[in-house]
Structures are given as structure tokens and as C-alpha cells.
Amino acid sequence: MAHRSGNDGSPSPLIRATPGAYPSTPGESDAPTIVSTQLSLSQAVYQRRSEFTRSYTTKVKVGTWNVASLSGTDKDIGGWFVDGKGLSDNLNGLAIDMKDDRRRRSGTNSSVESIASQERRRSKKKSTIPEDDEAYVPGGEDIGLYVLGLQEIVDISSATEALRPYTDPHPGKKWKKAVERALPKGYQLVAEQQLVGLYLVIYASPALVPQISSVSTTSVGTGLMGYMGNKGAVTARIVLGETTRMVFINSHLTAGVEKGNLERRNWDAAQIVNKTKFDPVYDGSGVMEEFGEGLGDENFAFWFGDLNYRLESMPGDDVRRLLMLHTRNEYGKNQAASGDKIEEELAAQRSPVSIKDGRFIDPTTENGLNSPSPALNSSADTSPSPSWLSNNGHFEPATDPASLQTTLSSLLPHDQLHAQMRERKAFHDGWQEGPIDFLPTYKYDVGSVGMFDSSEKKRGPSWCDRILYRSRRHKKDYEAKVREEQEAERADAEMKARGIDKEAEAEAVLFDYDPDIDADNEYQEEEASTIDPEIVETKAGFEDKMHLDYYTSHQRVLSSDHKPLDAVFTLDYDAVDPQLKARIHQEVARELDKAENEGRPVVTVVIDHHHDHDENLPDDVDCATFEGVNFGHVKYNHPKTRNITVANTGRVPATVGFVDRSIDQGQPIGVAPSWLSIKFDRRSDSQEPNNPVMQQYTLEPGDAANVELTVHVHDVSSVRRFNEGLERIEDVLVLRIHNGRDYFLPMRGIWLQSSFGRSIDRLIRIPEGGIRRLQHQRPDGNGHGDEGVKWSAPREILRLTETIEELMERTIAEWGMRGEGVKPPWDDLGWPFSVRTGDAKQRETLKERIREGLDCQVEPHEILPLETTALQRLEAVAETLVDFLSSLEDGVITEQLWTKIEKTMVDHEKSKTLLSGEDERMQILEILSASSPHSVSFTLITFMLSRVAGEIQPIEPPSDRVGLSSDSNSRSSKDSGRLQHSGKDQDMARRIEVEGAYATIFAQAMIRAPVITKDKERKASEGRRKHAIETFLRSKWDEDT
């Protein structure tokens, strides 16, 4: 690679390894996933691109070969592909003759091994390249980029290979080793991709490697069933110098000479175009395109391989004989086996073996190959020289009627690929091909230079192997031409619709010329051979040039039935110097920052730290150094607030607001986590505080806003995550300043373990001292068996039930001593568990103390203020019990236990069996006995409820009892809390109502049941749960009544 101007570019990021595999999925695990939003910065840097780019020139060599899965072919790869050897002096046409004057053209070079000797010594263990051969085509270190496409490196005719669900990598490794042995020292692998028998490999010179990035490879199968890999393409995309995108497509299309095979080849090509997708391009500076590319988005593309397009409308055997009239002369007197075969076949039958004006003629009678040239037979002839003679009387190969070039020019109009391109059925959208000055590359006898297929099939020769190329400019020119044609057709249709065509009919004859119909279909060799470099504007806005230098086959490679083919291109391109670009990037960024700072809003965020040291745990050693919002200890259902001040310290109004923060996988999105609320001290600009869109607040210069941040963990599911350590009181809020910078506000707190939200199996393993003793630990045992068990039932349930029983007696007694003629609270069904009196805020404060006592194993009477009444305490403790039972992870009666209990109840309902209360209780207790902690907990709770109900509404004989009445006016001043009841039936009815209310409340809190969607079944299940609780509440009196 030659450096044309400037200093040598410094290395850019290393090439990302993308080894091929089938099936290939675009994507790399280490590829960046960010997308730049700094458009202004990127545009400003781009405008100064001339300051950080340098111009370079390199050569790209593209080679293709169908190796027919034959052994020994790998021995030839270095000779023809890397060294440029294996061409024939007389059979490789004008492309070599006119471009390489290093070798004489007056016959075969005597120093090069003869064809006869070459064919006789052919071996699978050695290269078949002629000995002492010279290099025609550039190679070695003159090439910057080697691109090799191979077909049939495995036997794709084998059903085992064609239907294999994966690609065997071993053949590819063999070929890679062969190429690396032949390449000059220092060349490195850039890309590799294999699809069954298709193999693509790209190597770059040491100088070119640092400039290559964004390598992406992929495969498309179009074979059996339309997607198997016995046919299809392997493709690679590279970016050269961060400016030039290049795509290389190695394909093997459907074989066959029938019309259906031709249509399938076109279909294969269309599928490859539609299905090929690459990874997004990474420009090396932290910016990646949002979407991947397909074919057509590149700056230069090369499509090569065994495309399998044939010669049509010509007898294949006649083409064979015609071409062998040229190859016969290569063998000389010492005929090899192939030479003998050619002579025998040509002598066997005299058939038309030349072409003139589209028909076959015998060259021996009409200035054929065996007819002496007039210029050579009569030196005295003074008549004007024919057009095919030069001034010195020698043949001009391009115009000599008996030359190989004339024969090739006569065959090329019958080439299917050129016909499909003209008819816009395939490879028509800008694809180009160099002039074909070489023999058809297929099909030869293996081991022969010029013997076309001598097998029984005698397949007709064809240019199956091709190398096409296209620039971004070629594609855009084609698209512009299509648009012009469509516009012309539209205008013509409009004219015809207005009737203009009749008046202009005569005049139109003069201009009605259709090049597709009226032009001569003869292959325009002169036009195709005029290939000048043209300026191509790349996708990145740079100007490149590419020129085709060589396009030829290697006729003297004998190890396959295909002849290898290669093309050499000279590429002029601009490459980014990473160091210069980084310097320009920094300069532009500083300039933009300076301009933005002068007019953008600026705010100052002040955090109130005066609460940070409240009740800190000993392990909170970094409290003094934490610069964010510190909530300190965070407890279940205990709100805690911290304040921040946002002040506008700039010279322009500032619009501020919190935006969605960055989250880890699985976390809910939003401005803040679910346990945090944000409140400004003013209305938002939108005047809609409940609007889910970001709330914005505008601050004038010098203005300040106070923001309250409140952490409140009240959701049981959150409590469980905090208890288990699955979530922490840590997050980062993002305060966005419109047209300004973002402020990241870290916050944290220390979660204090809670007995709420746990399972009974965990609670019975908590040691003496409460759950707080296990801060940052877990209860002993794994929740199964008796390991680590400390209690028969959770201590929390025992304390709460005992306290409720005690406070109920004291409340009734205190109420009786008040002597007030007001309605007692127990007249409301469900009290004290669902109906409360007094101040709700005060009750929340008491409940918080009770929860603290449960977590630290402190009795409620020790932690509650002395000035509170028994009624206030009772209601707080009762509500805490219901909350605690509802928060249990598996309930008092687990879903599994309840399923068994409900099944027995349903069975009795179906059989219409009436059980006594005692029998029902025994059945339920028997099922609960499977889990002793749950059974004991259930007994404690139902016993407490039965006692509370008995205190509220006792059932006793009239002569022995005193009870509580709902008629407050009948109380005496002597004992206003006691009264005589009017009858046992009335007492029983009231008792049933009380117990029913309790059963409804506690069935929902204690029992975990499966979710039922049908309304009727759900209500029936709810009734059974209530009945199960009621059965135990009546155990004290139902048998006696």
C-alpha cells in the first residue's frame, strides 16, 4: 500500500474478531450498544474532516475458484492467487498482452515448463503451476487486501453435506492454512465465513490492518428447500479508514442449462440481496449507527463466485470443438494425453466449428485457423491490407478473424449473465464486469490445460465463474436512469391521454429509438474495455476512486474442472488518522462547550444533611462522606422525608424536572422507584400534577425551589425484597435542566429488617431478641424440617393475641367506669379489627411503635406511651395483627393446606353429609397437623377471636349472666357496662353476627387460596373459608345450644 500524502496514519482500534459460522447471526457480544445523540458535535467534527484524513492508495485482489471438492487443489492456491502465476501466453487474451510488457508474445517462453510436461507430472501432492513460471498479475506485497472466495470445498452433491444442520469447520481451516503459508509475512486475517461448501476469507497487509474496522460477516442459504447451504452466499463487510465501506459476496448459484435453472439463478441472487444484513457500523469514536446495513448501502461491492450462467442458443459440442481449435496449438509436437484427445476429437468429425454473422462455418475453408493468412503467403501482394492486419503486416488479435479474441467476441453475445443484466432480471442495478479476454472457465478435464469436458456428457463451455463490482456511484446512476425512464413513461402516458400522440405520430417516427430493441446486440467489447477511474462519493462524504487493473483466468492451473479467476483493483481512498481526529474532536468539543455555557441555564442543587446522622447504625461508617441524600434507617410503613433545594444561579430562566433514571434489568422504569415520592413546593408548568409526562418547573434567575423526597416502604412485596436482600434503598435520580446539563442525585438508606412479609417457617427460627438481631443475616435453617426451630409458633402472633385478650378486658372495664351514655365501639360489627374510633394519625403512630416492639421483641405495654387508653391500644394492636397476618408470605393456612381442607368440604357438600361442629374441627385440625407451626398459629388466633367475641357478646342463662347491650339508654349508673338481656335467642343472634364478621376478616388475612376467575366459584370458595373460621369460633358454645 502506497501512502500518497501526509504522514502514516496511527493505529485505530483493533479489528473485532468475527469468525464465520453457519448459520450466522449478525451481532457481537462486545459490540457497543450506545447511540450518539451529539449530532451538533459530530457535524462540526465532520466539517473539519480534511484536517484529520490522509489519502492512500492500495490494491485489492479478488479471486474465485470452484475447487470441486478435489484433493490437491489447496497446493495451487498460493501460485495463482498470491503469486499471480499460471497464465497461458496465448490463451489469456488482450488483458495481459496489452498491460504486461515483461514477457515476449512471440511464442511460448522457453524457460517456462511446457504444457505437455506440466500435464504429465501432475500430482495431487504437488502444485500443478508450471515450473519456472513468471508472474503476470500483481501479487505478493504489492496487494493490500486479498479476498478469496472458494466454492465446493466439500462435496455438496452428497446428501450428508447438503442437509447437514451445521457447517464442518475443518475444510475451511485447511484452506486458511494454505493461504497463510503463501501470503507474505505479516498479513493478518480480517474476516472469515463458511457456509457448507462456500468459503470466504480476507487478509490485509500490516499497513492496512489498523485501518480496518466494523467487520461483519453473514450467510444466506438458497439451496435445497430454498434455504439450505449447498447453494447461496457468504458475505463480509469491512470499513476501511473509517470512511470507505466495502462488501464482498462469494456465491454459488443454481447449476443447469434449462430455462428453469436460469430463473432459479436469478431467484438465488435476489434472495441473497434481500436477506443479507450486517451489524451496525462503529466509527471508532464511541458512535454506532442505530440499524444494520444491507447490500446497497456500501461504497464498493464485489460479487464473485460460481454464478453458473451459461452460453445459450448454441450447441455445446460445437462450442467445445471451436475453442479446442485454439487450445490445440498450445501442446506442440510432444503431445500430452490432453493434446491427443483434442486431435482425436477434432479429426473424428468435420462439423461447423467457427462463427460468422451468427452462424457456424468451417474455418478451414473460410479463412479459418488452418488457412494461411494472405499477408504471410504473398509478400509481393501490393493490394490494400485487410482491416485485421496492422501496418507492418502482422495480425491485430482484436480484429483477426481467426484469432481467439474474435471467437470470444462471437460467443459473448450468447452469455446468459449479460443477457439477464440487459433485461434487468439480475445484476442490473449498477453491477459492472471487466472485459472478458479469456477462455470460458468451465468445464475442463481435470489435469488438462485446454481439453474441455471429454466425458459422456460433454458439457458446453461457459463463463460460469465471474467477478462483478459496483460502486456507490454506479448504483445511484442506475437509480437515476430508472427514475428518468419512469418520468418519461408518465409524461408519454399523459400525452396519449390528451390525444397528442395522433398529431405527433409522424414526427415521433424520427425520434422513436429504443436502444434495447434497435441497437445491435453484438457484444460491445470496446465499450466494456474502457474502464477509467471515477470519483465515488462515499456514504461518509469522502471522495474515493477505483480502477480495474486486471481481470483474467489462470488457464494453466490443472487441479480442478474450473479455472480460477481473479481481478486486481487500484483503490484511492481517504483514511482517518485517529490521533488527528481525537485532537480535532477535543477542539470542537471545547468550542461548543464554551458557546453553550454562555447561554445555557445553570442551577445549583443543595442537599439538606442535618438529618443524616439520626439513628445511624454502627456499620454506617461512610455517612459523613456520602454526598447524596441519606435517609438513614428505613422501616416498614414508616415515611421518612429529606429536602433538597434547586436554585437558579444562572442568567437565564431554567426549566427543571426529574426524568426516567437508568435502571438495571428487571427494575420498573420511571422517574423514581416505587417506594420514593417527589414533591416540589409549587405547581408544575403543565398545571397537571397527575400527568404521567415529566413535570417541569421554571425558575427565574435567583429563584429557588424546595423538593421533598419521601421514602415510604408500605408495599408487602417490597418489604419481602428488602428483607431478602434482593433490593436495597439505593438509587440515582436524574434532574434534567432543559438545554442544560443533567444532575445525578444519589440516595441511599439502611433497611431495618422487619418481621412483616415473612413466612411462619422463617419466623419460628428467629432467636430471642427479635428479627433485628439478624440484621444483614437470615434465620437459621432453610425453612424445612426442624433445623434451627426456636418456637412452636411465631412469637409475634403469641404476643399480639395475648395483648388483644388483655386489652379487651381492660377496655370493657374502663368503658364501664366512664359512666357515659354514649354508644360503645363494640356495637359495630368487626370491631376492633375493622372498625376503629379515635384519631387515625395517632393510631398510625401507635402501630409503628407496636411493629418496632415486634421486631425487637419488646412487649407492647412497654413500648406504648403511658397516656394512651386501653381502647386506643386495643385498636392499634388489633389492626397490627390483621396487617401482620395479611403480610405473611404463605399465610396461616397455606394454599396447599387450604386446597385439602376445601376438598373435604366440597365432598361433604356433594354427598349432602351433615357434620357436627366438632367433626368439622377435627377434620380441619387433622389436615393442619401436617404443619405444626401453622396449626398452633391457627389455634392461637381462633382461640383469641372466640374469647373476644365472648367478651363482647356472652351467651349465659338470664339468672347467671350479665352482658353488654347495644341499647346504651338501658344502662344503670351503677353498672353502665352491664345489662340484662331480653333473651337467649337475641344473644345468640348477636353472637353469630360478631363471629361472622370476625370470620370474614380473618379468613381473608389467614388463608391463602388459589386464584379463581369465575365469579360463582369464587364466592363459594370465600364462603367455605369464612365457614372454616366460624367453626372454631363457635367451639365454646355451639354444642350446648
Is-contact 568 549, C-beta < 8 A?
A: yes
pLDDT at 12: 37
- Grid coordinates given for 491: 409524461
Q: What is the torsional sign of CA 1023, 1027, 1030, 1032?
A: negative
Burial (0-12, 13-18, 19+ Cβ within 10 Å), 171: buried
Q: Which residues pair with 678 in a beta bridge?
A: 709
Residue listed under C-alpha cell 411503635:
849
Q: Mapping DSSP to helix (H, G, I), strand (E, B) and coil, where does residue 193 land?
A: strand
573 Cβ contact list (under 8 Å, min separation 6)? 55, 56, 57, 58, 240, 241, 243, 244, 542, 544, 545
To which H or E segment does residue 302 belong?
strand 300-306
Residue 59: closest CA among 264, 205, 215, 265: 205
Q: How far, in Å, are 534, 808, 1009, 1018, 1021 from residue 1012 at the CA level?
A: 75, 37, 9, 5, 9
Q: How far, in Å, are 59, 84, 148, 240 from residue 189 at the CA level?
A: 17, 20, 12, 15
The CB density around residue 847, as the number of other CB atoms within 10 Å, is 18
- Mean pLDDT of successive 10-residue segments in the chain (1041 residues)? 42 35 37 42 77 91 95 94 90 54 45 87 91 90 96 84 75 94 96 94 96 93 84 95 93 92 95 93 66 87 96 88 87 69 75 51 44 35 43 54 84 95 94 94 93 89 96 92 91 82 48 51 43 73 89 94 96 88 85 74 86 53 73 91 92 89 76 90 76 78 92 91 88 89 90 90 84 63 57 90 90 77 82 83 89 86 86 90 92 92 89 84 90 92 90 68 40 37 71 89 92 90 90 66 49
Q: How far, in Å, are 55, 638, 724, 750, 771 from residue 633 at the CA level?
A: 64, 10, 17, 5, 15
Is-contact 928 1029, C-beta < 8 A?
A: no
pLDDT at 885: 93
Q: For 583-617, how does the pLDDT look when each residue is reduced to its tens digit (9 = 90+)?
A: 888 888 888 777 767 678 889 999 887 665 555 44
Q: For 238-269, how does the pLDDT look when each residue is reduced to its tens digit (9 = 90+)?
A: 999 888 999 999 999 999 989 899 999 999 99
Rounded to whole angstroms, the Cα distance separating 450 from 342 reads 8
Is-contact 940 797, C-beta < 8 A?
A: yes
Residue 938: closest CA among 951, 923, 928: 928
Query: pTM for the complete prediction?
Result: 0.54
Burial (0-12, 13-18, 19+ Cβ within 10 Å), 21: middle
pLDDT at 383: 41
Q: Mapping DSSP to helix (H, G, I), strand (E, B) and coil, where does residue 742 land?
A: strand
pLDDT at 824: 85
- Grid coordinates given for 224: 435445497
Rounded to whole angstroms, the Cα distance separating 136 from 122 reads 22
Rounded to whole angstroms, the Cα distance separating 533 from 525 reads 18
Q: How far, in Å, are 157, 233, 588, 698, 916 from residue 254 at the CA level?
A: 12, 11, 54, 68, 85
Is-contact 310 448, C-beta < 8 A?
A: no
pLDDT at 10: 36
Give the amino acid at 71.
S
pLDDT at 354: 52
Rounded to whole angstroms, the Cα distance separating 1009 from 1021 reads 9
Residue listed under C-alpha cell 474474435:
406
Q: How far, in Å, are 65, 324, 345, 404, 407 from residue 321 at the CA level?
A: 24, 5, 8, 13, 12
Question: Within 13 A of 82's CA, how many CA atoms are on the CB side?
Answer: 21
pLDDT at 396: 55
pLDDT at 570: 95
If you write DSSP's letter for every residue of 981-1017 in order, what string do you get?
-S-HHHHHHHHHHHHHHHHHHHHHHHB------SHHH
Rounded to whole angstroms, the Cα distance separating 880 from 642 reads 27
pLDDT at 820: 61
Rounded to whole angstroms, the Cα distance separating 702 from 649 reads 6
If you write DSSP's letter for every residue of 449-463 in order, what string do you get?
SS-B--SSS-PPPB-
